[in-house]
Amino acid sequence: METLEQIVARGLGADGINAMVAAFYRRVAGDDLLGPMYPAEDMEGAEERLADFLRFRLLGDPVYQFKRGHPRLRMRHMPFAIGEAERDRWMDLMVAAMEETGVSAEVKEVLVPFFAQVADFMRNR
């Protein structure tokens, strides 16, 4: 059985992660629920942080750790009110970004549950 990391390395790669995250942030910027939560003046920075994190977590690329240290994702999301609606919208936008950038069914099959688990863990209300 291949692991999540092996499937992503073989089927998506760094370029695929970057394209997916860019498509995700194009959607976030115009989203009525999530858009206002993100720093309008630093959407490029936000995009870079998520792409760096995913290349770190899924491909072992150390850049995120050099720049940001330990991810501490739950703590870093505490300033934002994240309930079921925000969690579900985040997932909707990420699934749409995967479809837009042609992420394969095989990669989606492992990435969607991964994102769903992390997104649910970020709920703080």
Contact residues for ligand HEM, defined by CB under 6 A = 34, 37-39, 46, 49-50, 53, 68, 73, 76-77, 80, 82, 86-87, 90, 115, 118-119, 122
| CB closer to ligand HEM out of 92 and 100 | 92
In angstroms, what is the minimal distance from the CB of 30 to ligand HEM? 15
Whole-Å CA distances, 60 to 14, 79, 88, 102: 10, 27, 27, 23
Which tokens in the block code for residue 118?
């992390």
d(CA 7, CA 104): 11
d(CA 77, CA 75): 5
| CB closer to ligand HEM out of 19 and 119 | 119
In angstroms, what is the minimal distance from the CB of 25 to ligand HEM? 10
In angstroms, what is the minimal distance from the CB of 12 to ligand HEM? 14
In angstroms, what is the minimal distance from the CB of 7 to ligand HEM? 16
| CB closer to ligand HEM out of 74 and 99 | 74
DSSP secondary structure string for all residues of 24-43: HHHHHHT-TTTGGGS-GGGH
d(CA 34, CA 29): 8
| CB closer to ligand HEM out of 89 and 100 | 89
